[in-house]
């Protein structure tokens, strides 16, 4: 069975304290890996797409990387407004054109001032 596992489940950091969130996947036929941010009571907000091992994407304080087994979301010098749940999702090859994402449970990140 395809699996997406995120760790840690929750992470509390001081403002300015850099860290990394992990997303490991055991899937066959990865088409793409996606990172989303979700605030309480809101829909997932798209951050990054990664397609192949070695690829990196960056946006402000966030940087996403991908290997053959896992992805990392690095957060550098975070601010309180970066507090959210970060979701990892994978898109698999199925032969169809409109395929659903398989999500992990997310990492709940709290940045304390």
Partner 1 sequence: EPEVTQTPSHQVTQMGQEVILRCVPISNHLYFYWYRQILGQKVEFLVSFYNNEISEKSEIFDDQFSVERPDGSNFTLKIRSTKLEDSAMYFCASSEVQQYFGPGTRLTVT
**Contacts with partner 1, residue ranges (CB under 8 A):** 34, 36, 41-46, 49, 87, 89, 94, 96-106
Tokens of 107: 């990492």
State the nearest-atom distance from the C-beta of 98 to partner 1, in Å.
4
Asked if residue 61 lies in contact with residue 109, where contact means CB atoms within 8 angstroms, the answer is no
Residue 77 or 110 having the CB closest to partner 1: 110
Which residues contact residue 96 at a Cβ distance below 8 angstroms, ignoring those fewer than 6 apart? Answer: none
Q: How far apart are CA 65 and CA 56, in angstroms?
A: 5
Residue 62 or 78 having the CB closest to partner 1: 62
Q: How far apart are CA 70 and CA 77, in angstroms?
A: 23
Residue 15 or 56 having the CB closest to partner 1: 56
Q: How far apart are CA 18 and CA 76, in angstroms?
A: 5
State the nearest-atom distance from the C-beta of 113 to partner 1, in Å.
26
Residue 18 or 94 having the CB closest to partner 1: 94
State the nearest-atom distance from the C-beta of 52 to partner 1, in Å.
15
State the nearest-atom distance from the C-beta of 84 to partner 1, in Å.
14
């Amino acid at each position: 069975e395809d699996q997406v596992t995120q760790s840690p489940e929750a992470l509390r950091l001081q403002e300015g304290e850099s860290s990394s969130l992990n997303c490991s996947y055991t899937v066959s036929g990865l088409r793409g890996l996606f990172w989303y941010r979700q605030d309480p009571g809101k829909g997932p907000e798209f951050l990054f797409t990664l397609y192949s091992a070695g690829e990196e994407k960056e946006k402000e304080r966030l940087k996403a990387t991908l290997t053959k087994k896992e992805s990392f979301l690095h957060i550098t010098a975070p601010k309180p407004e970066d507090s959210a749940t970060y979701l990892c999702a994978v898109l698999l090859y199925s032969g169809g054109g409109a395929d659903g994402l398989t999500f992990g449970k997310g990492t709940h990140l709290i940045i304390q001032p």
